[in-house]
Amino acid sequence: MARKKIGFVTYYWRRLIYILIIASAFLLTNFKFSWASTEAKHYTDLTFPPLAEITLPKYERYVLNNGMVVYLMEDHKLPLVSGSMVIRTGYRLEPDDQVGLGSLVGNLMRTGGTKKHSAHQINQMLEQKAAAVEISIGETAGSASFSALREDLNMVFGLFSEIIHEPIFAQDKLDLAKTQERGQIARRNDSPDVIANREFKKLIYGQGSPYARTTEYATLDNIQRPDLVRFYQQYFQPNNIILGIVGDFDVAKMKSLIQDSFGEWETNTGIMAKSPTLPNVYQVTPNGVFFINQTQLTQSNILIGHLGGRFDSQDYPALDVLNGVLNGFGGRLFNEIRTRQGLAYSVYGIWSPRYDYPGIFIAGGQTRSDATVQFVRAVETEIKRIQDQTITPEELAFAKESTLNSFVFNFQDSEQTLARLMKYEYYNYPPDFLFRYRRAVEATTVADLQRVANKYLRPDNFVTLVVGNQQEIKPSLTELSAQVTPINITIPGSYKN
């Protein structure tokens, strides 16, 4: 019996192999398959069809009587509904002695429970429906979101509204969140990348700037539950909010649901925060070389740059194309510093704007310790070269094509498109800002790139920050500047329970 089974299996596999051989021969004969046809082509030999025209999906915008702005965008491809809310707030509005307050408010709104349900009950209700509700407060805005199956929309949207309207900021959850934040403070010097980015912002914006401040043990100790309640009441007001919903829903029913949940929410003018006066932003450190010694490192993390600009600058499209000349495969920095000189696996130089305050032009990368000085000089040389040497038509075409080809990724789905519309309204940008940007990119010339390179890139104002091992950096950083300023990153205070 065993032999018969073995014989059957052997027979089966022989038949299968025979069929595969016949099938392969058929393909080779009928389709004239050639190994040559599978040879990889050089990227310059590849051709692609023109990009399809991009249009915005239909949407409706209206305003509730209490001032809340609402966007609705139907998308019936899947039985899903998702929503997002942008709140006019941000941790840049925290008091100087309570840095960390904003993120705690966002955290506790979601994890601290409501007047009707504990955090545990909310979690269970959402998990049972494979739904989600999230809230956070970032640098310049607050955000809240939900996602649900169409059939669970009423229940999930009800929970979403409840969390927005009735957070209780439970004391035990606040204590837990503060303990977790203290742990984050204690570990903030573990990563050289994190150290470099944090300290570089302080050098550009100033240590006390709302765009560079860090949460400390002392500022965390100053935050109590009434402070969270006050911050919430000041900024979570209906006329401070933009709500967007996209997905598989009936517009009339959705409007009714929104009205029932948020339409009767009244603005509390007695406690509402006045429109914030944002601080003037300027480059605090005019230039110089700065160093953070980390003896455990075998390579240097390097950042070089100065104060940048905003998205609404008329020169932003040309600067973004200039980014394409500098960066990526085929970019000048990559070709020269990584490929030709072999100084780094990654290297970059990016004009990185912000919506309502100046961003940063930042260049950098990582290199081995003994190549630190050479790397810095190489980056500076390439930035000066892009000012002094004419950009070729080939470089312009490559950068423009790369920039325009990436344009489609701004419209990958309706949810992403709606979020962009809401963001533009939040920062007072025109709704067709992205299309204006694309037209400006298409019109960018070599002369435009040379003009913006010379106008906006300022090597004399470069701040250079190196995080590395002082003993291994040879030649010394004094080859770059006679004055190298050390930065102390010791965490103030001690861990407190």
Strand partners, 306: 361
Read off the pLDDT band of 409 (50, 70, 90). Answer: confident
What is the pLDDT, as a whole number, of residue 56?
Answer: 79
User: What is 288-486's CATH number, 1.20.120.1760, 3.30.830.10, 3.40.190.10, 3.40.50.970?
Assistant: 3.30.830.10
Read off the pLDDT band of 161 (50, 70, 90). Answer: very high
25 pLDDT exceeds 80? no
Q: What is the mean pLDDT of residues 269-282?
A: 78
What is the pLDDT, as a whole number, of residue 216?
Answer: 97
What is the C-alpha separation between 101 and 93, in angstroms, rounded? Answer: 9
CATH number of 60-189+214-263: 3.30.830.10
What is the C-alpha separation between 480 and 304, in angstroms, rounded? Answer: 12
- The mean predicted confidence, pLDDT, of the chain is 90
Residue ranges, CATH 3.30.830.10, the chain = 60-189+214-263, 288-486
Please count the residues of the chain: 497
What is the pLDDT, as a whole number, of residue 131?
Answer: 97
Read off the pLDDT band of 14 (50, 70, 90). Answer: very low
Please answer whether residues 65 and 264 qualify as being in contact, where contact means their C-beta atoms are separated by less than 8 angstroms. no
Please answer whether residues 67 and 239 qualify as being in contact, where contact means their C-beta atoms are separated by less than 8 angstroms. yes
Task: Give pLDDT tens digits for 26-74.
Answer: 444 454 444 444 566 665 676 766 666 677 789 999 999 999 999 999 9
Query: Reading across the β-sheet that carries 463-468, which strands appear in turn?
Result: 347-352, 360-368, 299-307, 463-468, 288-293, 484-486
Q: What is the dihedral of CA 254, 257, 263, 264, to 10 degrees?
A: 170
Share of the chain above pLDDT 70, in %: 88
What is the pLDDT, as a whole number, of residue 269?
Answer: 78
Q: Is the peptide bond before 475 cis (omega within 30 degrees of 0)?
A: yes
Report the candidate in 309, 287, 272, 480 with the shortest Cα–Cα distance to residue 379.
480
What is the C-alpha separation between 209 and 94, in angstroms, rounded? Answer: 11
For residue 131, give the 3-state DSSP assignment. coil
Please answer whether residues 143 and 83 qualify as being in contact, where contact means their C-beta atoms are separated by less than 8 angstroms. no
Q: What is the mean pLDDT of residues 271-282?
A: 78
Task: Give pLDDT tens digits for 96-148.
Answer: 999 999 999 999 999 999 999 999 999 999 999 999 999 999 999 999 999 99
Give one DSSP letter per residue of 46-112, joined into a string: ---PPPPPP-PPP-EEEE-TTS-EEEEEE--SSSEEEEEEEES--GGGS-GGGTTHHHHHHHHHHHS
Task: Give pLDDT tens digits for 199-234.
Answer: 999 999 999 999 999 999 999 999 999 999 999 999
Let me know if 270 is exposed, middle or buried by CB neighbors in 10 A (0-12, 13-18, 19+): exposed
Report the candidate in 59, 102, 85, 237 with the shortest Cα–Cα distance to residue 147.
85
For residue 218, give the 3-state DSSP assignment. helix
What is the pLDDT, as a whole number, of residue 414?
Answer: 86
What is the C-alpha separation between 370 and 377, in angstroms, rounded? Answer: 13
Q: Which of 138-147, 152-161, 340-349 has the lowest mean pLDDT?
A: 340-349
1 pLDDT exceeds 50? no
Q: What is the mean pLDDT of residues 430-443?
A: 93
3-state secondary structure 150-215: HHHHHHHHHHHHHHHHCECCCHHHHHHHHHHHHHHHHCCCCCHHHHHHHHHHHHHHCCCCCCCCCC
Read off the pLDDT band of 410 (50, 70, 90). Answer: confident
Query: How many Cα atoms occupy the beta-carbon half-sphere of 70 within 13 Å?
Result: 20
Read off the pLDDT band of 270 (50, 70, 90). Answer: confident
What is the pLDDT, as a whole number, of residue 234?
Answer: 94
